[in-house]
Amino acid sequence: RQIYDQFGHEGLRGTGFRGFTDFNDIFSSFGDIFENFFGFGTVKDRRERPRKGNDLRYDMQLSLEDAFSGKEEEITFKRWAACEVCNGSGITPGKEAGICATCQGNGTIIRSQGFFQLQTTCPTCNGQGKIITDPCLKCKGQGKIQIKRVLNLKIPPGIDTGSQLRIRGEGEAGDYGGPNGDLFVVMHVKEHPFFSREGDNLFCELPISFIQAALGDSIKIPVIGEETLHEIRIPQGTQPGDVISIQEMGMPSLSTGKRGQLFIKFIVRIPKKLNRRQKELLEEFLAAEGIKGADKIGRLFRAK
C-alpha cells in the first residue's frame, strides 16, 4: 500500500492544456500561394459556396492509471461559432450586402499585361463579389464570434500517447452554411515512475537482494489499476536481469479490452557493507562451497 501510494499517485493526477493548433491553416495558405502563382489558371470563385470550418486540436495529459481505467474529463475551450444575431452573414439583420464596385459582383477582375489578359481574384471583396456596408454590431461584420465551450469527454480505457478522439462538429464554424469543423483531442500519457509501456504490455524493474535471488521468495508489488498489492514469486536461483512475465496484468487493448502482459525484470542487489555477523555467515557459506582464500581465483578459472 505504501509503495503503491509512492509510485501510483505521485504528481500524476490532473490534465494539462497545451492550446490549439489550427490544422487547416497550413493548407489554406498553400492554396493561396498556388492561386497567385499560377494566375488565371486556378482563380477561385469565392462567392458564397458552403465551406467546412477549420478543425481544432486539444492536447490532453493523462496519467497511466487514467489511461488504464478510462475516465470522464470536462474540457473547456474557445472556438469560433456562427454569430446568432446575423446568422453568420456579418450583415445587420434587415440589411443586404452591397455589390462590390471593383468587380461588379463577379469576384474576379481582368488585368491586361502586354498581350495577355489575366483574370485574378478581386482584391477589394477578396473574391466574394459583395461588400458589407452595414456590418452586424455583435460580430463586427465577421459573421463569427468566439464562444466558450465546455464538453464532457468519455475517455475509453487503453488510450496511449498519440491516440486521438474526434468530436464531430466541435471545430470552428463553417462559411456560408458549411458544416462546423471537428475537434481532435490528442492524448499524451505521462511517464510512470514504476511502469513503462509498449503497446498493451507493461514493464518494470524490481530490485531484490542476492539472498532472495538465491533462495527464491515471494514479494508484493503494486499493480496498475489495483489498490491492493499483488504477490509474485521470485524463482529460486534467479539471475541478475532475469525476466518473468505475468499474463493479463498489462494495459487493456483499446479495441478488444483484453489485457497485455506485465514483464518484471529482477535487479539483484549486492550489499556494499556487511556487519560482523553477516560477514561471518558469508564466510561460512564460502567455506561450505569449499573455496578458501588464495584459491578463489584459480577455482573460478578452472570451473569454466
Residue 98 C-beta: closest distance to Zn ion, Å: 10
267: how many CB neighbours lie within 10 A of its CB?
Answer: 12
Residue 87 C-beta: closest distance to Zn ion, Å: 8
Listed ranges 94-102, 199-207, 234-242, 245-253: which one lies at the site for Zn ion (CB under 5 A):
94-102
**Count of chain residues binding Zn ion (CB under 5 A):** 12
Of residues 138, 188, 230, 269, which one binds Zn ion by CB under 5 A?
138
| Contact in structure between 122 and 41 (CB atoms under 8 Å) | no
224: how many CB neighbours lie within 10 A of its CB?
Answer: 25
Of residues 62, 67, 82, 100, which one binds Zn ion by CB under 5 A?
100
Residue 129 C-beta: closest distance to Zn ion, Å: 6
Residue 119 C-beta: closest distance to Zn ion, Å: 13
* Interface with Zn ion, residue 47, by CB under 5 A: no
* Interface with Zn ion, residue 102, by CB under 5 A: yes
**What is d(CA 230, CA 250) in angstroms, rounded to the nearest whole number?**
13
| Contact in structure between 147 and 78 (CB atoms under 8 Å) | yes
* Interface with Zn ion, residue 91, by CB under 5 A: no
DSSP states of 142-208: SSEEEEEEEEEEEEPTT--TT-EEEETT-SPPPBTTPPP--EEEEEEEPP-SS-EEETTEEEEEEEE
**What is d(CA 160, CA 68) in angstroms, rounded to the nearest whole number?**
9
* Interface with Zn ion, residue 24, by CB under 5 A: no
* Interface with Zn ion, residue 188, by CB under 5 A: no
* Interface with Zn ion, residue 126, by CB under 5 A: no
Residue 128 C-beta: closest distance to Zn ion, Å: 7
Terminal-to-terminal C-alpha distance of the chain = 45
* Interface with Zn ion, residue 51, by CB under 5 A: no
Residue (139 or 262) nearer to Zn ion, CB: 139
Residue (67 or 139) nearer to Zn ion, CB: 139
**What is d(CA 101, CA 107) in angstroms, rounded to the nearest whole number?**
10
Residue 150 C-beta: closest distance to Zn ion, Å: 23
Listed ranges 41-49, 95-103, 157-165, 177-185: which one lies at the site for Zn ion (CB under 5 A):
95-103
DSSP states of 248-281: T-SPBPTTT--B--EEEEEEEEPPS---HHHHHH
Beta 243-246 vs 196-198: how paired, if at all?
unpaired
Residue 144 C-beta: closest distance to Zn ion, Å: 8
* Interface with Zn ion, residue 139, by CB under 5 A: yes
* Interface with Zn ion, residue 103, by CB under 5 A: yes
Say which residues have a Cβ less than 8 Å from residue 273's Cβ, sequence separation at least 6: none
Residue (83 or 159) nearer to Zn ion, CB: 83
* Interface with Zn ion, residue 122, by CB under 5 A: yes
Residue (63 or 128) nearer to Zn ion, CB: 128
**What is d(CA 239, CA 230) in angstroms, rounded to the nearest whole number?**
22
Residue 47 C-beta: closest distance to Zn ion, Å: 10
Residues that bind Zn ion (CB under 5 A): 83, 85-86, 100, 102-103, 122, 124-125, 136, 138-139
